[in-house]
A and B are shown apart, each in its own frame.
Chain A
Amino acid sequence: MAPDTKHLEMTLETQVESVNLAEEMCLRVAEAAGFGEDDCYRIGMSVREGVINAFHYGNQERPEKKIHLAVDLTPDKMIIHVLDEGTGFKLSEVPDPLAEENLLSTSGRGIFLMRAFMDEFDVVPGKTGGAEIVMSKKLPAPGSSPNGDGGQSTAPHQGA
């Protein structure tokens, strides 16, 4: 790890409350890092979706399994890792929630939202098995708008 990278990690129980806890923790880091309200919303939502994915799909809501959350704050970006203890999955096998046949599906939008809200997004095999979501957001440039988005709409990046 680079010496100017700040690292924070926590192990979460596989329970609904962990979703809020992870969101709150990452929001505090994002705010302290200088992200504006809109970017904080996007980061918070992405963390929620990552932990929901680990809770529901990765760990199958089994309480004996853990969710591992880590945040790296580099001089350039905030990087978030969410690791589950499941069997892993391939991004290419995740159904497209925008496909006509999936529009009325009651689930399957989390990955899409993380991709839309973050600058970088990937899923890699975890070192101890399971899936590791890795996503990042560039830090706002010094002196940029309070929203930290260069004055863009609050709408997320589509098709990112």
Chain B
Amino acid sequence: MALHATHRDAGKVTVVDLSGRITLGDGSALLRKTVRGLLDDQRTQILLNLADVDYIDSSGIGELVSGFTAVKNRNGNLKLLHLTKKVRDLLQITKLFTVFDVFTDEGTAIRSFD
């Protein structure tokens, strides 16, 4: 399933709702475009909602890391919300679970940016 991305504002935080697969090609490209677009709009506090993302490959993992670094370089924060089991497992074996702030509750996640 192709990746879809919409975003909404929650105060200073932008929540990006993603659904589909983040894989080599269009999926990774859309994630990159979305994060870079938010940074261009000075939105540097970003919460990626991955509740409906059931598949990520190494290219998608690389794009998550790339987004994380790009946001950090703008003194912002990129955090993750609602990981599916497969995505959680992937982040754990690649040790990225320790790099990203990961949340299971949206309200808690949004407050963590304060």
Contact = CB atoms under 8 A, between A and B. Distances in A.
B99 A104 contact: yes
Interface in A126-160: 153-156, 158
A19 interface: yes
Interface string A6-50: 000000000011011000000000000000000001000100110
A107 B57 contact: no
DSSP class of B's interface residues: helix, strand, loop or mixed? helix
Contacts of A97: 94
Interface residues of B, number: 23
- Classify chain A's interface size: 20 to 34
Interface string B48-62: 000000000111011
A92 interface: no
B34 to A, nearest CB: 16
Contact of A52 (B58, B65, B68): B58
Contact of A48 (B23, B66, B68): B23
Nearest to B98: A103
Interface of B: 23-25, 57-59, 61-63, 65-66, 68-69, 85-86, 89-90, 92-96, 99
